[in-house]
Amino acid sequence: MNPIVKSVPNGWSENAADLINKLIVRKDDQRLGKNGISEIKNHEWFDEINWIELENHRLEAPFIPVNIEDYFDESYLD
């Protein structure tokens, strides 16, 4: 039997891929977050998030679109 080879999409970090893989586990009793949101918040991918500042609306958005008139503006897509 061949071992499962996990590939990471271009542009993704290993932590991002690990988080997604743990969130999409088919069996809910093995899925990240089964014991509460703190399991997800404590994942390494979120290490730089200050959850208290986020909850208190004190963080600046990392991206603010210029054209807020057109919600279907495709100019931001790659």
Average model confidence (pLDDT) across the chain: 86
Q: In whole angstroms, give the CA distance from residue 65 to residue 33.
A: 31
pLDDT of residue 7: 77
Task: Please tell me the predicted confidence (pLDDT) of residue 15.
Answer: 93
Query: Using one digit for the tens of pLDDT, what is the confidence trace for 32-61?
Result: 999 999 999 999 999 999 999 999 999 998
Residue 1 pLDDT grade (very low, low, confident, very high; cuts 50, 70, 90) = very low
Q: Which amino acid is at 46?
A: F
* Averaged pLDDT, 13-29: 95
CA separation for the pair 8, 16 (Å, rounded): 9
